[in-house]
Chain A
Amino acid sequence: AQKVTQAQTEISVVEKEDVTLDCVYETRDTTYYLFWYKQPPSGELVFLIRRNSFDEQNEISGRYSWNFQKSTSSFNFTITASQVVDSAVYFCALSAISNFGNEKLTFGTGTRLTIIP
Chain B
Amino acid sequence: DVKVTQSSRYLVKRTGEKVFLECVQDMDHENMFWYRQDPGLGLRLIYFSYDVKMKEKGDIPEGYSVSREKKERFSLILESASTNQTSMYLCASSDREEGNQPQHFGDGTRLSIL
Contact status of A107 and B42, CB under 8 A, knowing A44-B106, A101-B31? yes
Contact status of A33 and B100, CB under 8 A, knowing A43-B107, A101-B31? yes
Specify which chain B residues have a CB less than 8 angstroms from the CB of A102 in the assembled complex. 31, 48, 50, 96
Bound form: Cα–Cα A30–B96 in Å: 21
Chain A residue, CB-CB nearest to B45: A104
Contact status of A104 and B48, CB under 8 A, knowing A47-B102, A95-B100, A109-B42? yes
Specify which chain A residues have a CB less than 8 angstroms from the CB of B88 in the assembled complex. 43
Chain A residue, CB-CB nearest to B38: A109
Instruction: Answer whether residue A71 sits at the interface, using C-beta atoms and an 8 A cutoff.
Output: no
Chain A residue, CB-CB nearest to B41: A109
Task: Decide if B105 touches A45 in the complex (CB within 8 Å).
Answer: yes
Interface residues on B, range: 20 to 34
Chain B residue, CB-CB nearest to A44: B107
Task: Decide if A105 touches B103 in the complex (CB within 8 Å).
Answer: yes
Annotate B88-114 by CB proximity to A: 1 below 8 A, 0 otherwise. 101010011111111111111010000
Number of residue pairs across A and B with beta carbons under 8 Å? 67
Chain B residue, CB-CB nearest to A45: B105
Specify which chain A residues have a CB less than 8 angstroms from the CB of B31 in the assembled complex. 101-102
Within 8 A of B (CB), among A3-47: 6, 9, 33, 35, 37, 42-47
Interface centre among B100, B103, B110 (most CB of A within 10 A): B100
Annotate B13-30 by CB proximity to A: 1 below 8 A, 0 otherwise. 000000000000000001
Task: Decide if A97 touches B108 in the complex (CB within 8 Å).
Answer: no
B47 to chain A, nearest CB (A): 11
Contact status of A108 and B42, CB under 8 A, knowing A44-B106, A47-B102, A47-B103? yes
Specify which chain A residues have a CB less than 8 angstroms from the CB of B90 in the assembled complex. 45
Specify which chain A residues have a CB less than 8 angstroms from the CB of B107 in the assembled complex. 42-44
B27 to chain A, nearest CB (A): 13
Instruction: Answer whether residue B60 sits at the interface, using C-beta atoms and an 8 A cutoff.
Output: no
Q: Which of A6, A42, A97 contacts B100 (CB 8 A)?
A: A97
Specify which chain A residues have a CB less than 8 angstroms from the CB of B41 in the assembled complex. 109
Question: Which B residues are closer than 8 A to A by beta carbons?
Answer: 9, 30-31, 33, 35, 40-45, 48, 50, 58, 88, 90, 92, 95-108, 110
